[in-house]
Amino acid sequence: MEKGTDRVHPTASTYAIMLLAWRRFNPESDTPVHLSDLPNPTTLLSNLIERDISPTAVVADRVLASSEEASDIIKFLSKSAVDLNHPRILAELGQAESLGSHVPDPLEGVPEVKPVLRLAVQILDENGNVIPAQAKEEVPFNLNNLRSHLAQVTLARRVLPEDLASRQKLLEESVYDVAVERLRHEAKLFDELGLGNRELHRADLQKWMWHWHQKLKKRLEAEIQEIIAAEAKICEHICASINKQVQRMGPFLSLVKPEKLSLITILEIMRLQGSGGVSDGMKTARALLTVGRAVENEYKAEMCKRNNIAIPSHARPSEFTGYFTGLGYKDLHARRMTAAKYMEDSEEWTSEWTQVLRVRIGSILVDCLMDSATIERTAVDKRTNEEIKENQPAFYHAYEYVRGQKLGVIRLNPVVSERIAKDGLRETLHPRHLPMLVKPKPWLNHDQGGYLYNRSAAMRFKDCQEQQTYLEHATALGNVELVYAGLDVLGSTPWKINRNIFDVVLKVWNSGERLCKIPPVVYDQPEPEKPPNMNTDIKAKSVYGTRLKAFMQDKANNHSDRCSVNYKIEIARAFLGDTMYLPHNLDFRGRAYPIPPHFNHIGDDLSRGLLMFGDAQPLGEQGLRWLKIHLANLYGFDKGNFDERVKFVMDHLEDVYESAEKPLDGNRWWAKADDPWQCLATCMELRAALESGDPHAYMSSLPVHQDGTCNGLQHYAALGGDVKGAAQVNLSVTDRPSDVYTYVANMVEKVVEEDLKNGDKYAAMLSGRVSRKVVKQTVMTTVYGVTYIGAREQIERQLKDRKDIPEEECWGASAYLAKRVLFCIGDLFSGAKAIQTWLNLCARLISKSIPAERVPDALQAPKGRKKHGSSLPKNRIRKEQMSSVVWTTPLGLPIIQPYRKTKRKQVMTAIQSVFISDPNAPAEVNAVKQASAFPPNFIHSLDATHMMLTALECRTQGLTFASVHDSYWTHASSIDKMSEIIRDTFIALHSSDVLEKLATEFRTRYASHKIPLTSLRSGKLLKNLQAAGVRIVASSEQADAIRLGGFTSFDNIIDPNQTEIPKPKTGKRGRPIKNVVMIEGAKKDVSTVIDHEEGDDDYAGEDDVDSILVDKFVDLSAVLPPLPKKGDFDVETIKMSQYFFS
């Protein structure tokens, strides 16, 4: 029948019979029949679609005698629809009601989430005010798009309740396949509505986009073939003549179907409209890069499908042997070796996408779109009243002047931009990264792991090719096994939605009221009143302007905050009743983050309150105690000892019960907590445990936290053996927890009281208001090098949040308070400051160094230039300073600071010449940023290492584990065990002499690097080097020459040496080496060679003041300052500190 030889066409009944036969006799059924020509459901569904027979008609056919048969066939067809990537078919099958009677729907009875609305059409009165009753509202397109995508999640659960793998595949499917179907469906609908009718005819954005898509698809089919043919000829000619590979665009364009390329281009260009400060258009460079990057993502997704990545199988928990055993290491190594072979066999994976390639591909596609996309404009001739029609380009190219620079832009035809303003653009990319329904794929490589079908990166590279290169190399050597294993542990933690909290959140949300950082549907703060003397009093006018600006900003923030909360609630609703997983990756410092951006446990209090572990553990006696301590911590009573915290909860047990039973109708005790939604979740969990009859046997899923006390300072204190610092951050044994923030706040309050006696205006304003919260961030970031400006901004934000200081006074008050806070901190953290200074100095020196092999080139004048050019060598030297600060964490992860002075590059495209900053181009490092960022980045890499070690050990010992940087989570019953692991891993980390290893790594990694003396001229740098104990030992002649040259700033760091200087030797490339400078390091004098080109007489007449220093270099390894002296604190003491993490 399918072949058409019998002249009989199959009907819905025919397919129903074949599917019924498959159900009864397929190879996995109870009565299998092995027939080679028995068509499977995927084949049957393909034939159904080809013959335009509705799957619903097949399912509803009389051949199916029972609802059970219908349900099974719906499952077969739904799985095939996922495999064939037909979401429309899946949606049709999802309406089948027969399945509902077999599988309970977790969303049954759950109200819909009321979406955020915005004004779409404003009706104004004669005074220009919006008339609320007549204004029309719409859902913002980003939110509407997310809701549409989540509807598929819900639909998939109805038709595939047990097939998690297929549901996960559907989640990750490319949005472009869905978009084509939707555009086609809408175009068909417009035709059915009779758009030829004059009354119904209107220019519709979706219809335009569909017509553009059809034209562009045909154009691209021809264009790509021409490109491939042209490149083949060019490549043949060039490769034969100069034996050089040419980067071709044909392979990149041909893998992705023209249909998808067309839609990618249209959607991305439409989405960029109005971006980058360009009204009714976009910057050309940005448009080309964005389209190119979108094609890259789709190309990689196609490679995943083409290579048939299998869904990984997971061993049962009982078979897990741990990561620290020999077998564990062997298993990890085998995984990496397999992955490496796979990479070698598949060249397409390693195709490199450069910025230039992205721009060129983007320019081809955008150029084709601009040629193909037209719209019909209609106007009436004012003289003849005749209607005139004209086809015009939908997009056109133009230039703008921005800050005196000529900027290329792509503009939309005014008709198109007007239509976007009216209709909104629904078709945008859905967020691919939602939580997963199955355990993430184990990390096998820097870009293989996490999602099953979409490629993810193990590290979030900040446009830095170095980071990727170092990570790839470390992976190939097997040095980052444990880092990948740690990511696997974090990603395999199961989560579920806390239904009790979700119901309360949804009720509050749909009511539109403000509660616990859920913003109200209508901004509820009063607008500042206009003062009557505003036109005569300049100060009154200024105060009113400040308050009005703050009000408008808060009102705008209210809308964006509400959209953010809407995202979270929509995602939580879609995953109700499911166990989900959050794949993780790293930032460049090694800190782990969940990849799903909108809803995860690293989010705010609301996100954390909505999440519970997917597995449960019996509380036990200690678990019940920790649950009470956790509740006190969340409420804000976290500075008492543990017994006092338990007593606090027992004293408020009545409030706890009322919060759990009547969260919205009682006195809302929970809403006054520091973390209200997590507090409410804990109240409900504690009440359920106490009411269960046997609290110790109660199965609890609630995560309980152990948080470090100012964790950065804890690492500094351990690194420096700082006894005083250790006592301040709970590394020492104490009866009560220390709180350095309260200590500083009290000191500041005393200073403010003194200023108040002298009649200070801001002291009067701030007296009694200097709380722990106001100073916390500044105290925490002091050891990270926070400046006065940074401290002022931090304190200003806190004062604004208090709402008890006038808006216009917050800036002045924060400036006053920042000075007092920094003064009070003073030498409170002297041990940490010494290490911070050492780290900063090392980074400054590294960023000013040049590899020895580059020194001769740096000193060589370019051809065609006179060697007497005033500052030529100095400028060449500066451009050679390209050394980033690189170090390796104790787990073997290489960290590269990405801060460089990026250069813009001109690329000629079919549309125009565009300037892009190429992150892969060699560029001078940003020495200031390298130095200031190194201390915090190094400490963050240490806390990331501590977390990873803890995660791996927790998994080895069978504990569920999650973390938010320095806050570690597990079940209440496992807290004691995890606390022990936290201390053991911290002690193991800091017993390895971290700073000594770092100094050794620097001396080894930068052994051949030289620093030009011109880069050390800064008085502050020389002063810091002298204070750190660095000495430059030079010959008397050299010291005199430097002094006579006017460089007296070197006097305090250079020691003249009367000993005989070695005779000149022949250096690299046969150049004689002159001028030996010796550096006195921490332990001994090191003789260091200064490269000085022969023929330095050529520089004799140079006017540059640096002429004496320009060719003088010292070894970086010899100038690195000695480590600060370590104190007497013993890290083993931490084992006895009960408040280290609490």
**Residues marked as catalytic:** 707, 776, 966
Closest CA to 683 of 725, 654, 645: 654
Place of tokens 């653009």: 425
| Beta-carbon contacts of residue 458 (< 8 Å; ≥ 6 apart) | 443, 445, 446, 447, 449, 471, 484, 487, 585, 586
Please give the single-letter amino acid code of residue 318.
S
Per DSSP, the residues of 906-953 read EEE-SS-EEEEE-TTS---B-HHHHHHHHHHHHHHHHHHHHHHHHHHH
- Tokens (6 digits) for 866: 């006179």
The DSSP output letter for 1068 is G
Could you tell me the CA-to-CA distances from 260 to 215, 289, 537, 845 in Å, in that order? 13, 17, 62, 50
The DSSP output letter for 130 is B
- Mapped onto helix, strand or coil, the DSSP state of residue 904 is strand
Angle between helical axes of 87-94 and 175-192 (0-180°, round to 10): 70
Burial (CB count within 10 angstroms: exposed 0-12, middle 13-18, buried 19+), residue 1121: buried
Cβ–Cβ < 8 Å for 627, 704: yes
The DSSP output letter for 1124 is P
DSSP H or E run through 152: helix 141-159
- Tokens (6 digits) for 484: 């990948």
Query: How many C-beta atoms surround the C-beta of residue 900 within 10 A?
Result: 22
Query: How many C-beta atoms surround the C-beta of residue 630 within 10 A?
Result: 25
Please give the single-letter amino acid code of residue 150.
L
Alpha-carbon torsion 1134, 1137, 1140, 1142, what sign?
A: positive
Query: How many C-beta atoms surround the C-beta of residue 113 within 10 A?
Result: 21
Please give the single-letter amino acid code of residue 932.
S
| Beta-carbon contacts of residue 372 (< 8 Å; ≥ 6 apart) | 212, 215, 216, 219
Cβ–Cβ < 8 Å for 118, 199: no
Alpha-carbon torsion 986, 989, 995, 1001, what sign?
A: negative
Residues β-bridged to residue 1010: 850, 1115
How far apart (Å, rounded) are the C-alpha atoms in residues 632 and 675? 11
Q: What are the helix and strand counts (H, E) for the chain?
A: 40, 31
Helix runs in 399-535, H state only = 414-423, 465-476, 481-491, 499-511
Could you tell me the CA-to-CA distances from 522 to 505, 517, 558 in Å, in that order? 17, 14, 9
Cβ–Cβ < 8 Å for 842, 1082: no
Residues β-bridged to residue 1130: none
Longest dimension (CA), the chain: 110
Angle between helical axes of 620-635 and 642-651 (0-180°, round to 10): 80
For residue 939, which phi and psi values (nearest 5 degrees)? -65, -40
- Tokens (6 digits) for 1142: 């609490």
Query: How many C-beta atoms surround the C-beta of residue 1034 within 10 A?
Result: 25
CA 838 distance to own-chain centroid: 30
Could you tell me the CA-to-CA distances from 201 to 182, 197, 207, 423 in Å, in that order? 21, 6, 11, 15
How far apart (Å, rounded) are the C-alpha atoms in residues 792 and 234? 61
Pairing of strands 395-402, 1085-1088: unpaired
